Chain A
Amino acid sequence: MTASALKSYGFDVDTDEQNQSVVRRLAFEELAEPSAGTRVFSRPAVATAVSPRPVSTPYTFFSDGSSLRAPSPMGLRAWKAIPTSAGKTFEWEGLVLEIQDASFSARLRNIKGAKAEYDEIAQFDLADVPPGDRDLLHPGGIFRWVIGLESRSGTRQRYSRIVFRRLPAWTSRSLKKSEKELKALVSGIQWIKNDATSTG
């Protein structure tokens, strides 16, 4: 993702002492002049999908590939009112490094959109984290940072969203189990002594 494109979403890229890219949030005053038809946020717009009335998507797809047109009581208008990601999306996986008073730092790995093949360090405001995910914010916490366009009822707006991953406990259990099995395997190896006097 180019620096100018990042800027239009409210972020900028600096270089720190270790020559690593550091993504920082721009103050509102620094934001680029928005082009016609776009909205620029000084803090990320955390979009929540709130459907005013029950809706059904037009199609239901079965895992075997067949599909069924589900009944759609509220019709096309309701379907179009569901917020949907549109256009190009940029996504990073973040690993929380440090938490300060009003911000936290994270190491970012590109998932999609950006061309960088190296990790980047970024600073985020604590306010960028949805209240419901604050309990997941700790060093080592993993999140996805997504920026892009969202379409809803024909209107478009840019968004920046942080979503912490609620990972299953069984993956950490299975990691510990694998570690235990590996240790048992290694400890079970009978090492043959290297006899320096052997000529065979």
Chain B
Amino acid sequence: MLPEIERNNWSIVLIGSFNPAIFHPSWFLVNEVISKETAEIAEVHVVHSEVASVTLGPLRLDVQRNRFSLQTEQSPEISLLDFVLRVFGDLLPHSQITQFGINRTVYFRAPSSERRTQLGRTFAPTIPWGAFGERIEGSKGVTLGGMTNVSMREVLVEAAWSGHCEARLMPAYEIDADTGIQTHVNNHFELKDYTEGDGAMAALKVLKNEFEPRMERCEEIILAVLGHLE
């Protein structure tokens, strides 16, 4: 049986040029991006010309001048895509978006501390590390060592964009100091031949087409990692 995922996080991150000062819940409400009920429970952490951070129901928005990040920990994650398409497709189509990421992070536990260590040894064997690896292999108790962070990258190239899919595996002390594991997948897209006049639409078209396939790819990678703990 596969370990159960205990926490989920999905996010879309846009890189470009933004004006954080406008991203107030009232602006979203007036433009019908969110409902009146969501606006009533929204929390404004900060809205400033340099940075904005608001919670809109299940969505968390963090904006800086060159970065727009929207994340959620609740299904359906398609809400992220709809929100971004609505904001930048309908309301702010002239925003410059040159790169974006479609990301997923999951947290789960290994059945035991030993199984987590074994997982680390699978993804980062100690043998190639010579004497250093031997010492790690022989470590135990409070001096137990091993993998702290491993990443793998698949390079992606298409006509309109280039990018990569990068998966990262590391311990998750927030879940459990001895058994917690985190897997993060970043799908990065960079537009080719982008000019200032292109606005947001070039990125949005790719985002719209790639969001669900990339989320399926995240699921495939996560299941491959979980499979080692079955």
Q: How far is the CA of A60 from the CA of B105 in the complex (A)?
A: 11
Contacts of B41 in A (CB 8 A): 48, 50
- In contact, A57 and B43 (Cβ under 8 angstroms): no
Check if B6 sits within 8 Å of A59, measured CB to CB. no
Question: A61-B13, A91-B75 are known contacts. Are A84 and B7 too (CB-CB below 8 A)?
Answer: yes
Are the CB atoms of B105 and A63 closer together than 8 Å? no
Task: Please tell me if A97 contacts chain B, counting CB pairs below 8 Å.
Answer: no
Query: A182 an interface residue at 8 Å Cβ cutoff?
Result: no
Q: Does chain B have a CB within 8 A of A64?
A: yes
User: Interface digits, A123-141 against B, CB 8 Å rule (1 contact, 0 not)?
Assistant: 0000000111100000000
The minimal Cβ–Cβ distance linking B166 to chain A, given in whole angstroms, is 5
Size of the A side of the interface (Cβ < 8 Å), in residues, is: 47
**0 or 1 for each of A65-85: is its CB under 8 Å from B? (1 = yes):** 101000000001001101111
A63 touching B188, Cβ below 8 Å:
yes
- Which residues does chain B contribute within 8 Å of A61, judged by CB atoms? 11, 13, 101, 103, 105, 184, 186
State the majority secondary structure of interface residues on A.
mixed
- The size of the chain B interface, using a CB distance under 8 A, is 58
User: Which of A50, A65, A91 has the most B CB atoms < 10 Å from its CB?
Assistant: A65
The interface of chain B, by Cβ under 8 A from chain A, is 4-9, 11, 13-15, 32-38, 41, 43, 45, 53, 55, 57-58, 60, 62, 67, 69, 71, 73-76, 78-79, 82-83, 85-86, 89-90, 93, 99-101, 103, 105, 151, 153, 164, 166, 168, 174, 184, 186, 188-189, 208
Provide a sorted-by-A list of 22 A–B residue pairs whose CB atoms are within 8 angstroms.
A47-B58, A47-B74, A48-B57, A49-B73, A51-B55, A60-B69, A61-B184, A62-B15, A63-B101, A63-B103, A63-B186, A65-B164, A65-B168, A84-B73, A84-B74, A87-B4, A89-B75, A91-B76, A131-B35, A144-B79, A151-B6, A168-B82
Residues of A within 8 A of B (CB): 47-51, 54, 57-65, 67, 76, 79-80, 82-89, 91, 111, 130-133, 144, 146, 148, 150-151, 161, 163, 165-171
CB-CB nearest 6 A-B residue pairs: A132-B35, A63-B101, A132-B37, A84-B73, A144-B76, A168-B89
Known: A60-B69, A65-B153; 15 extra A-B contacts, CB below 8 A, are A47-B74, A49-B74, A54-B45, A62-B67, A64-B99, A65-B166, A82-B73, A85-B73, A86-B4, A87-B4, A144-B79, A161-B74, A161-B75, A170-B85, A170-B93
